[in-house]
Amino acid sequence: MEGQRRAGCSNTRHWLTRGLACSLFGGLAAWPVASAFAAPAGTAAAVAERPRSELTAARPVAALALAPPLAAARPAAPVTLAPGDFGGLLGGLGGTLGDIGGALGGTLGDLGGTLGELGGALGELGGNLNAIFSQFSAGLATLLAELSGEISPTPGTETFSGSIVWAGISRDYLGIRPVNAPAGAPVLLLLHPNGLSPGRMANLTLAGRLAADYGAWVYLPASRGGAWADDPGALFGADDVGFLDALLTREVSAHALDASRIYGAGYSNGGFMIERLACERPALLAGIALVAATLRDSVASRCTGPSRTPTVLFNGTRDPIVPYNGVPTLASATNTAAFWAARNQCVATERSITNLPDLDRTDGTTVSVSRYTRCVDSVVAQYTINGGGHTWPGTQYANYTLALGPTTGDIDATLELWQQLLPYSR
């Protein structure tokens, strides 16, 4: 058999087929049967001790032998290729490769265009990310300053602090006043919302501008436990009305301030407290401003009869804390304005509505002002922030108060309330 295999390989005419045949037959000749079908452990030693005749007659081994099937198999017809056939094959292969190259060229061209567009998009994204990062950095710097709890200094002003004992409890306050303050200056009582410190309230509103530009003294007292006792119907709570009245009375006397021009403003819980103070001490405040606050039923029931109290309100239509349209025990923003219009003896049907310029088209808000035009030496103005949330209009902290809803950049509530109230005195 070995001789037949080698003869079949050497008699093949063509050099290529001869090489393939020799490789095939040579490989098969060198392939030991035992390596392909190994006997169980110990079997090989036992078989080696038997006579050759027994090995030849052993049927299990003979059945596994590859020689008989190979000997019976017909040899494949030799394949012969002329040298010219390779030229045709190579030519066809060259054409196929050319087609593939053309297809790849077109695909790569399209890919290049796509990558170019992607590069442009990434460049634009990079520019946007730079802008976002710059905005974030500015917001972070502002946030860190606010979190410090200290009043950010305003040129031309100075800060001070003090305390007063009321009802046996020492109560603290901060203040901002102009440098070399003259006598007879106006006063703004500015109350923080629930959980915000007086210093942070000063930073939030940039209240130092009122001292620097208008010569006002700004007082920022601290509530007990972080919240004002703004609900007269509550069973428990500090006497915040008495505390605020005592603080203002003492400070006006001590610094020769103008008692006829004391104004009150508050944000959220602070705004509700200002309303309660105005109702229970109607002769104290020359005007009030409420930001993100409406009117409690418990306050309205104790606030009867006419009383000239110029009032400015700022309410967002998307306020998640104090709903613009009201809830049980809280009046709507529109009804709150109507309540104070009645207190100021305004004609209910005489109102003007002005849509203010949309100065910041990126904040998703617009502002309109409804004014009662026929009041007795007073003003009631309601600023509706369409799309606005539970925020202070115009604050620089809008970047991190998103949970409270949008903040408008179309107005500055601090300057608006002051300019609306300042013409009036008690």
Q: What is the DSSP letter of 374?
A: -
Predicted confidence at residue 90, as pLDDT, reads 59
What is the mean pLDDT of the segment spanning 164-187? 95
Average pLDDT, the chain: 79
- Please report the pLDDT score of residue 151 as a whole number: 78
Phi, psi (deg, nearest 5) at residue 377: 45, 50
pLDDT tens sequence across 281-319? 999 999 999 999 999 999 999 898 788 999 999 999 999
Percent of the chain with pLDDT over 90: 59
Whole-number Å distance between alpha carbons of 288 and 67: 113
Burial (CB count <10 Å: 0-12, 13-18, 19+), residue 288: buried
* More confident site: 6 or 224: 224
For residue 301, the tally of other CB atoms under 10 A from its CB is 11
The predicted pLDDT at position 181 comes to: 87
pLDDT at 164: 97
The residues, ordered by sequence, that sit 6+ positions from 329 with a Cβ below 8 Å of its Cβ are 296, 297, 298
Question: Which stretches within 281-378 are classed as H helix?
Answer: 297-300, 333-343
Domain 154-421 in CATH 3.40.50.720: no
Instruction: Please name every residue paired with 67 in a beta bridge, in sequence order, or none if there are none.
Output: none
User: In this predicted structure, what is the pLDDT of residue 99?
Assistant: 73
Tell me, what amino acid is at 259?
A: A
Q: If you average pLDDT over residues 258-280, what whole number do you get? A: 98
What is the mean predicted confidence (pLDDT) over 207-236?
96
Which pLDDT score, from 0 to 100, does residue 111 have? 67
For the stretch 90-141, pLDDT in tens is: 567 667 766 776 666 666 667 666 666 666 666 565 555 454 444 444 444 4
Question: pLDDT, tens digit, for every residue of 333-386?
Answer: 999 999 999 999 999 999 999 999 999 999 999 999 999 999 999 999 999 999
- The domain locations on the chain are 2-75, 154-421
**Between 289 and 396, the higher pLDDT residue:** 289
Average pLDDT of 265-291?
Answer: 97
% of the chain exceeding 70 in pLDDT = 65
Contact 424, 163 (CB under 8 A): no
